Amino acid sequence: MQGRHPQHRKEPLAKLLRRALFLFLGASLVSVGLEIFLVPNRIIDGGIVGVSILLSALTPVPLGAYLTLLNLPFLYLGYKQIGKTFAASTLFAVLVMSIGTTLLHPVPPITIDPLLAAVFGGITLGAGVGLVIRSGGSLDGTEIVAILLNRKTAFSVGEVVMFINIFILGSAGFVFGWDRAMYSLIAYYVAFKAIDVVIEGFDESKAVWVISDKSAEIGDAIVHRLGRGVTYLRGEGGYTGEDRRVIYCVITRLEEAKLKSIVEEIDPGAFLSIGPIHDVRGGRFKKRDIH
């Protein structure tokens, strides 16, 4: 029994260190995006970060202090609603981000062009936030608030987040001027897209369903010509009541065109449905993950 304990404890420790490393890298990137690009050019982001930038501009309190203080209530909510691991990961990332902004504050900005600052600041910020989210943490409490409001109102989580961020980004017009508010919208959009790229990756996965009288031939072609495994499901036609064989498989975005050509070549009349999916694990499907 003694010989098995080190091996059992080593894997969780390795995962913990890896998680901490990516949380640190993500929060550090956010600090760079804020202090090297956005804040010196009076451009804000949405959520708690945006509120912190506005408050630090109106008061002598540094940005890092607001980032920590304003996130504390949401850390408690996250602990209650999601769990201890999420709260610990978020606390670590927020502290790294706060310390990073404090250390980088004296560093001069790379550019004073507001458009360049909005674009590259948004990319850097979004990449950092994406790394933190993929590592099980968060840097903004507005999503937790949105989840709670969604349970008590008719608004969706996305609608609540959008409303909060429109109000925050609009407030930048009164503090920094309306041109800076518009640049802030650009930075927010770029960051949003960068988060998607980091979380989903460039090779976005897609689920495929094919219904055809030549399902065996199509399935065999997908396996041998596309290199993807397939699963055959049993279905029943809603109008005819006939048993139908349904092909299910997962492909990447880059493989979509080839799969369509395979189905079109074998059975032009086949029913084909393709939709995005957010996570793929196990089986023969290989997709990189940092967890």
pLDDT of residue 201: 67
pLDDT of residue 5: 43
Q: Is the pTM of this model over 0.85?
A: no
Could you give phi then psi for residue 252, rounded to 5 degrees? -95, 165
pLDDT one digit per residue (tens) for the chain, 291 residues: 444 444 444 447 888 889 899 999 999 999 999 999 999 999 998 889 999 999 999 999 999 999 999 988 888 887 777 778 888 888 999 999 999 999 999 999 999 999 999 999 999 999 999 899 888 888 887 766 776 676 677 776 566 777 888 889 888 999 999 999 999 999 999 998 888 888 776 556 889 999 998 999 999 999 998 888 899 998 877 777 778 889 999 987 778 888 999 999 999 999 999 988 766 666 655 554 434
Domains and CATH numbers, the chain: 5-200 (no CATH), 205-276 (3.30.70.120)
